[in-house]
Chains A and B, each alone.
Chain A
Amino acid sequence: MDLVVQGLVKAFRLLLSGDPEVLEITLLTLRVSGLATLISLFLGVPLGLYLAVARFRGRELVVGAVNTGMGLPPTVVGLWVSILLWRNGPLGMLGLMYTPTAIVIAQAVIALPVVTGLTMAAVQQLSPKLRLQVLALGASPLQFWWIILREVRFGILAAVMAGLGSVISEVGASMAVGGNVRGYTRVLTTAIVLEVSKGNFDMALALGFVLMVLTYSITYALTIVQQRRRRW
């Protein structure tokens, strides 16, 4: 119990003193995970909309893959992205291995099926007749998708929260493709792992506390928007 208290005290000290290293790690975590979530949104929302309404041979296989991907182990993603980005790999010439960009790519891969799957589920909750009604209102194809997107906005907010949650808390992929390089690719989760391995439990707890506060603050802000219009 003393350890936990020490950790909390240290966390407060770190936060209040504005420790430059913790601040840097926190900002990098925010930048990397925020960007990865944004990329997953840009790709996952249109893909989710498409999969919700499209009819094509093998659709179930794709949907099954997306649903499986929602539980994709970050370590496996890290392994595959490493193979792609490694010096001798197919994308080795880009020189992205052990850079923040590599972590963004890996995290975007982790968040993509989460955002796609939840967007698809949100659209499928709508009445199928709404499609006809929106078309009957005179919507062009672009206007149609805009309206459908607006109708599922709270579902997409849930997808953002789940996507961000899945990447900000992962460690396997960040470690594999980022390498936990101090001052360059060290994010909160990889820093925690390092501190634990060194036996600095109070520091690990402090960083864990920072991570939790960070995640909770973002999720809380999104939750306020989402729950403003609750119907139940």
Chain B
Amino acid sequence: MTAVLEARDIVIKKGGRRILSVDHLAVEPGEVLAIIGPNGAGKSTLLTVLACLDLPTSGAVFFHGRRVTRANALAVRRRLAVVFQEPLLLDTTVLENAAIGLKLRGRRREAEAKARAWLARFGVGHLAAQQALTLSGGEAQRVSLARAFALEPEVLLLDEPFASVDVIARAGLIQEFKSILSSTGTTAVLVTHDFREVSALATRVAVLFDGTVQAEGPPEAIAAHPRWGALADPRTASGAGSGGCGWH
């Protein structure tokens, strides 16, 4: 089966320093691939490249087997959706925020109906007429998720999407998100350093450390791994990048 999204021999250098070096990483149709690793491992950089928002210094991303270039990056981006850690809503109404992606694709007729449907699905339909910048953090992130799903993307890329939501609301939102993911069968890439999100959502995990993929496998296998299991432990996961765990 051809991977929906594939990274081959990706190297990213910034200021002469190599910050990412991924030989191979593929996202198969229908799967939820979690990319985990400590702070500074290069997770967000990798997601930015997979989302075709940045071209790698060398290597390439392939979408349905076709190399993504500067020339076709926009067309590929229009078949993906990205949710960042911050909701990053525009200074307009909630409805307009949820509909903007479809409008940018020239699908103006269906945009508002789809946006309303997805806002309702994420429990923020009643806020449609409200100005987006007056929302609470949790509400704003729900709108951000609705905006992404309204695009019906072939791959949904998420960069720590629940980190800005408070702990009480987080568990509920993750459950809702899980149910929507499975009912739509959306292929997703989830960047996180919270293994609880991985256990709840992911079908496969890639461990990123020092800019390279160190391991891949089912969440249970990674959690049980003698070396990477520490990432599944909330007491050690966030500090794992300090090098204090003796991984290298």
> Range of interface residues on chain B?
20 to 34
With contact pairs A132-B48, A151-B90, A229-B131 given, residues A138 and B84 touching in the complex (Cβ less than 8 Å): no
- Report B8-44 CB contacts with A as 1/0, cut-off 8 Å: 0000000000000000000000000000000000000
Q: Does A87 contact B (CB under 8 A)?
A: no
Given contacts A143-B104, A151-B91, A231-B133, contact A135 B77 (CB under 8 A): yes
Q: Are A138 and B88 in contact (CB under 8 A)?
A: no
Determine the main DSSP class of B at the interface with A: mixed
Are A127's CB and B88's CB within 8 A?
A: yes
Q: Is residue A17 contacting chain B, with contact meaning CB distance below 8 A?
A: no
Interface string of B112-139 (1 = CB under 8 A from A): 0000000000000000000101100000
A138 contacts B101, C-beta separation under 8 Å: yes
B91, A137: Cβ atoms under 8 Å?
Answer: no
- Nearest neighbor of A133 in chain B, beta-carbon distance: B88
Question: Contact at A138–B74, with CB atoms within 8 Å?
Answer: yes
A113 smallest CB distance to B (angstroms): 26
A135-B53 contact given A127-B86, A127-B88, A129-B84, CB 8 Å threshold? yes
A137 contacts B84, C-beta separation under 8 Å: no
Q: Which residues of A contact B105 (CB under 8 A)?
A: 138
A139 interface hit (Cβ, 8 Å):
yes
Per-position contact with B for A135-160: 1 when CB-CB < 8 Å, else 0? 11111100100010011000000000
Q: Which residues of B contact A231 (CB under 8 A)?
A: 133-134
B133 close to A133 (CB less than 8 A): no
A93 to B90, CA, bound (A): 50
- Interface pair A139/B82, CB less than 8 Å apart: no
Q: Are A132 and B53 in contact (CB under 8 A)?
A: yes
- Taking chain A's interface residues, is the majority helix, strand, or loop, or is none over half, making it mixed? helix
Set B90, B101, B134: member contacting A150, Cβ < 8 A: B90
Contact of A136 among B82, B90, B131 (CB under 8 A): B82
- Contact (Cβ within 8 A) B74 A147: no
CB <8 Å contact, B77 and A136? yes
Q: Is the CB of A138 within 8 A of B77?
A: yes
Interface string of B84-107 (1 = CB under 8 A from A): 101010111000000011001100
The proximity string for B residues 145-162 relative to A, scoring 1 for CB distances below 8 Å and 0 otherwise, is 001000100000000000
Q: Are A139 and B90 neighbours in the complex by a CB distance under 8 Å? A: no
Cβ of A130 within 8 Å of any chain B Cβ, yes or no, is yes
Q: Which residues of B contact A (CB under 8 A)?
A: 48, 51, 53, 74, 77-78, 80-82, 84, 86, 88, 90-92, 100-101, 104-105, 131, 133-134, 147, 151
Residues of A within 8 A of B (CB): 127, 129-130, 132-133, 135-140, 143, 147, 150-151, 229, 231
Which 4 pairs, one residue from A and one from B, show the smallest C-beta to C-beta distance? A136-B82, A133-B88, A138-B78, A137-B101
Q: List 30 A-B contacts (CB under 8 A).
A: A127-B86, A127-B88, A129-B86, A129-B88, A132-B48, A132-B53, A132-B82, A132-B84, A133-B84, A135-B53, A136-B51, A136-B77, A136-B80, A136-B82, A136-B84, A137-B100, A137-B104, A137-B147, A138-B74, A138-B78, A138-B101, A138-B151, A140-B74, A140-B104, A147-B90, A150-B90, A150-B91, A150-B92, A151-B90, A151-B91
